[in-house]
Structure 1
Amino acid sequence: MTNVIQYQGRKARRAGSEQRRQAILEAALAIIVKDGIRSVRHRAVAREADVPLSATTYYFKDISDLIADTFTLFAERALTEVIEPFKQKAFTLLSQFSRSSLADPVQRERMVKLIGQMLSGFILDEFHQRRGHLIAEQAFLQEAVLDERLRDLADLYLRQQLESLKIATELFGSSNPRLDAELILSTMMTLEQRLLVHPENATAEFVDARMCNLIDKLLPHG
């Protein structure tokens, strides 16, 4: 992971300098969430971070470096603060079941419901508690299409999520864990994007129905 997560801008040499550099990146991320990525400008970031304009141009010679490092910070945090906790929660839930559970229709139905609701709960928690994270994620993945420096980082970010889902699909006996994991992740990200556009759909009833339907189709019958 550390071989891929590499910052582009000038490195800070002292603790105080690192704090200022972090403040600049935090400010840029806040601007992306509030006003969109094209609103990131040295002057706007300096104002948001409450630092001299010269500080932003010192650490980041151009806007593309500033944006790249902002998304590097975003991905680094998301891997530890969002993806890893989700992985631990998922494995705790799945440890309640075994493949033999699928032979019992009642247990299978319970498994479908619990897994679907866990995934739904994650999506809704992201929307209600970390809406800024979802907006930043969408912007990050879109920018990776345009900036090749971000592609390896975006691939790592998605791969970490896929690996967790792949292990989960293996545990419940998928015949093609990788493809099933990709399908689950793409469905979750599509739903997240849909909720950002249509927040009136951010209900347990709406999201549960879609995730449980997907898991029911993917979960093998005993």
Structure 2
Amino acid sequence: MELGDLRADYEHAGLKETEMLGDPVDQFKEWLQQAIDHPLGDWFEPTAMTLATATPDGMPSARIVLLKDIDAKGRMVFFTSYSSQKGDNLAANPRAALCFYWGQFGRQVRIEGTIEKTSRAISEAYFSSRPRASQLGAVASDQSRVIASRDLLEQSLADAELKYAGGAVPLPEDWGGYALTPAKFEFWQGRRNRLHDRIVYRRSGEAWAIERLGP
């Protein structure tokens, strides 16, 4: 298989600066809703996003996480272990980038900004809404840390099931939410002949400046 020969053309409508919404959070919500409403929306996992973090000396790391909320402040919220690799990165360097790709529309959205932990109350509310099996998994797993075997992980899960049998599973101390406050959005629409549309929003005080980028 020659990877260089693999390519797709894009037959989608373009983006015009004058037709973009004034607030990029509203524009993002519109695109996200269209992805959710797509007949294959569930299969494509429209809330899946690449989260990129970096160590203080610049070593990057990226992984897929799920967007769980866009709060009243327009912050992008997700949940994870605070003691994971991404948690370690964000504790030392609280800046990150998100990337959504919706191939069914030939669209990508990139978001950059600063990150902070959500309140404990928000973390507890979300944790309590999770399936019990997911709650137990969060308790049992020492995320991103080396473990000796799969058997030990399964034993840790069995121990958690026994410990909390018949009762609520408490929120682990090292587990909770993060909220990214956007400073930049880029909306990308695939076009024919690789002349893609790229519209970028940059925060300017309380407003947003909108510009077009070369593809």
TM-score by length of 1: 0.26
More strand by share: 2
TM-score by length of 2: 0.27
